[in-house]
């Protein structure tokens, strides 16, 4: 699975930026988004900024990634409410409907 991660610009450089998000810091290419400033939010995929986003969108994507991570780890927290089932937890009819196959 390939997922873009919201990351915040810490230090811009020509054609690149140092960004931080989800517990990591890395240097990414900014060729697809142009010049950036400290505090800007970017969606980063394969060490390349692919899209500029605002702080609200970054929070939304991070919340979704937290839900996915919780589901993958089998979160049993009663406050955890995933709005979806992973395919491995679906019954055959639900999986067929998801993939567009007849049962």
Q: What pLDDT is attached to residue 52?
A: 97
Q: What pLDDT is attached to residue 48?
A: 97
Q: What pLDDT is attached to residue 78?
A: 45
Q: What pLDDT is attached to residue 64?
A: 83
Q: Tens-digit pLDDT profile for the chain (103 aa)?
A: 578 999 999 999 999 999 999 999 999 999 999 999 999 999 999 999 999 999 999 998 888 888 888 777 776 554 555 566 666 677 888 878 777 776 5
pTM for the whole thing? 0.70
Q: What pLDDT is attached to residue 76?
A: 57
Q: What pLDDT is attached to residue 35?
A: 96
DSSP bridge partners of 42: 7, 52
Instruction: Domains for the chain: give ranges and CATH numbers.
Output: 5-99 (2.30.30.140)
């Amino acid at each position: 699975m390939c997922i873009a991660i919201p990351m915040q610009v810490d230090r811009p450089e020509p054609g690149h930026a140092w960004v931080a998000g989800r517990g990591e810091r890395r240097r990414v290419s900014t060729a697809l988004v142009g010049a950036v400033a400290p505090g800007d939010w970017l969606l980063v995929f394969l060490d390349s900024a692919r899209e500029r986003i605002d702080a609200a969108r970054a929070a939304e994507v991070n919340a979704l990634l937290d839900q996915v991570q919780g589901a993958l780890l089998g979160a049993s927290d009663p406050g955890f409410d995933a709005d979806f089932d992973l395919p491995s937890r679906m019954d055959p009819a639900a999986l067929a409907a998801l993939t567009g196959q007849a049962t």
